[in-house]
Amino acid sequence: MKKQNIPKKILYWYDNNKRELPWRKYTSKKQKKYFTLVSEIMLQQTQVKTVIPYFNNFILKIPNLKSLSKVKDQKLLKCWEGLGYYSRARNLKKTAIKIIDVFNGNLPSNEDDLKSLPGIGEYTAGAIMAIAYNKKVIPLDGNVERVLKRVFNLKKVNEISKENLHKKKSFFGETNRSSDYVQAIMEIGALICKPSTPLCYQCPISENCKSFKKKDFEVISINKFNKKKFFEVNIFQNNYKKYFLLENQKFNFLKGMPIFPMNEISKVKFGKHVGKKINIKMSNMDMKIAIKNVKNYPLKKNGFLIGSNELSNWTLPSFTKKILNTVKKT
């Protein structure tokens, strides 16, 4: 297969196999831009199947940039509840406000302006330029990286560096259907070039794939350093079965969200702890949590009591819910 045929092969496969995703069902260019913005922010560190119901609900309740810029935080976070990484929701609202105030209500189409928006980095900017504006940009997400690593059978650390992978993107060539093409490459990574069981005989570019020819499908990754930290969580429940929570201002994760009072402790103290212990994995942290029941709670301005029957009225992060569910079982 000649290199110049690669876009045609990939697009032909995409036209016949693409998923029916809700953010692809727009009715105008303006709606396409909004759908792309919301979906790309939601898809940061979150799988497609998880995002779909949240996207549908979000668009139903916050259908455009104007409504997003004016939505109350409580409603915004309620729409986001369970999706995690709540800073994304806050940044999305800030982005909507800035687009309206600075860019006259038009989502920017160039990298510098897009990266000036809260929560938008190099990858998301590239995805928006390609998908919303049909620009000839191929952003490097996990799916695209995996396809490139297999096509070139990249194994060494220097070979799988971001810098080298960006150079290897030239393999894909160019097409006037850039919006579809970027999504097609990502779709191949998600549906065909899977991490552990690639479906090579369904792949439109298997003839150009060195890993396929060598029957060597292992994908080498540079492991991100995942810190292991230890915490003690204090659980206070009064006579009315209400729990004491704090609006988190102490830790960088879940900023401003309701959490139980907690402190970081040493590994030694954690090992000696007699309370119930659970493990919660965050994006960049492996959290070891020891639960301690206390008789008194500290009087703090950012603290409040919440009853079990009131939980549905609050936007609680999954982190807090996991601890609460553990407490209820003990």
For the segment 140-162, what is each residue's pLDDT rounded down to a tens digit? 999 999 999 999 999 998 999 99
* Confidence (pTM): 0.79
| C-beta of residue 257 within 8 angstroms of C-beta of residue 320 | yes
CATH fold of 3-140+173-192 reads Endonuclease III; domain 1 (1.10.340)
pLDDT at 1: 43
Domain ranges across the chain: 3-140+173-192, 227-329
Among 208, 202, 218, CA closest to 173: 208
pLDDT at 142: 93
For 64-69, the CB contacts below 8 A with 24+ separation are 64/31, 64/34, 65/34, 65/96, 65/99, 65/100, 65/105, 65/107, 66/96, 66/100, 66/105, 68/92, 68/93, 68/96, 69/93, 69/96, 69/97, 69/99, 69/100
* DSSP characters over 45-59: TS-HHHHHHHHHHHH
Q: At 243, which amino acid appears?
A: Y
Among 213, 184, 182, 193, CA closest to 146: 193
pLDDT at 285: 78
| C-beta of residue 99 within 8 angstroms of C-beta of residue 119 | no
Q: Both tokens of residue 149?
A: 């690593």
How many angstroms separate the CA atoms of 127 and 137, rounded?
8
| C-beta of residue 68 within 8 angstroms of C-beta of residue 92 | yes
Q: Name the CATH code of domain 227-329 (choices 1.10.1060.10, 3.30.465.10, 3.90.79.10, 3.40.50.880).
A: 3.90.79.10
Which candidate in 20, 40, 264, 310 is catalytic? 40
| C-beta of residue 29 within 8 angstroms of C-beta of residue 70 | no
Q: Both tokens of residue 146?
A: 């995996």
Count Cβ atoms below 10 Å from residue 197 Cβ, excluding itself: 7
Positions in the chain short of pLDDT 50: 1
pLDDT at 213: 95
Give yes or no: 40 in active site: yes
pLDDT at 251: 74
